[in-house]
Amino acid sequence: EVQLVESGGGLVQPGGSLRLSCAASGFTLSSYAMSWVRQAPGKGLEWVSAISGSGGGAYYADSVKGRFTISRDSSKNTLYLQMNSLTAEDTAVYYCAKDSLIRFGGYFDCWGQGTLVTVSS
Amino acid sequence: DIQMTQSPSTLSTSVGDRVTITCRASQSISSWLAWYQQKPGKAPKLLIYKASSLESGVPSRFSGSGSGTEFTLTISSLQPDDFATYFCQQYKSFPYSFGQGTKLEIK
């Protein structure tokens, strides 16, 4: 069974950092592109970042470019999102999502349960 | 960037109703459109991809249509389990973008 389990969320002060993890099972992470999508409380979905399964690079939303870094560890079959210089606007549930393709340009056919990040003093 | 606009934002409906949700793209996305269903406190679930292809395991009362800039999600006969929020998403180009969502409420 294909499954994604996020962890690493929590309460962090403005300007702080946090690293989210997404453990994959039932498939090989490096065989698919992966994304992070977030949802602020009571709001819609916002795509944050994507990484190619083929090592072909990464993309970021303008709202996080220069502050967030997406990466993966193939040996652990785990996706990461390093988040720096956090602001209140980054408060959201963060989902990892599996792309249907190894390269970019597919839809999200599997989602994790989400992990809540709260940025507050 | 491609903007996605859904309508309506909220729809009061009843079990057995035929429901249609519209999604418009600010520029042509061919058929690179997906629809997701989300229930409170849960992750989104894929319903439709490539505008009209039904994801495996999704009931056949769900259907999608459209291409270019106008798309629709139709639920032929609403069931109690279908009261949820629905999002469209374009995956033609980065940044990927979602519609703002359509919430189906019980009338």
B43 chain-A contacts, CB cut-off 8 A: 95, 111-114
Which residue bears the tokens 């035929």? B18
Q: Is B65 exposed, middle or buried (0-12, 13-18, 19+ CB in 10 A)?
A: middle
pLDDT in tens, B19-56: 999 999 999 999 999 999 999 999 999 999 999 999 99
For testing contact with chain A, the best of B96, B100, B102, B103 (most A CBs within 10 A):
B96
Q: Compute the mean pLDDT over every residue in chain B, rounded to the nearest whole number.
A: 97
What pLDDT, in 10s, does the model give residues A64-99?
A: 999 999 999 999 999 999 999 999 999 999 999 999
Which chain B residues have a beta carbon less than 8 Å from that of A111? 43-45
- From the list B91, B76, B73, the residue with the least C-alpha distance to B37 is B73
Paired strand residues for B4: B25
> Does the structure show a pLDDT above 70 at A56?
no
Smallest Cα distance from B23 to chain A, Å: 14
Q: Does A41 touch chain B (CB under 8 A)?
A: no
Find, in chain B, the residue whose alpha carbon is nearest to that of A115: B43
Report the residue from A47, A62, A114 with minimal CB separation from B43. A114
Confidence of residue A102 (pLDDT cuts 50, 70, 90): confident
Q: Tell me the two tokens of residue A42.
A: 């009571």
Angle at A58 between CA A55 and CA A63, to 5 degrees: 170
Q: Look at residue B91 and tell me whether its pLDDT is greater than 70.
A: yes
In the predicted structure, residue B1 carries a pLDDT above the cut 70: yes
**Which candidate from B42, B96, B98 shows the least CB-CB separation from A44?**
B98
Distance CA B58, CA B44 (A): 13
Mutate to test the interface with B, among A34, A37, A107 (most CBs of B within 10 A): A107
DSSP state of A88: G
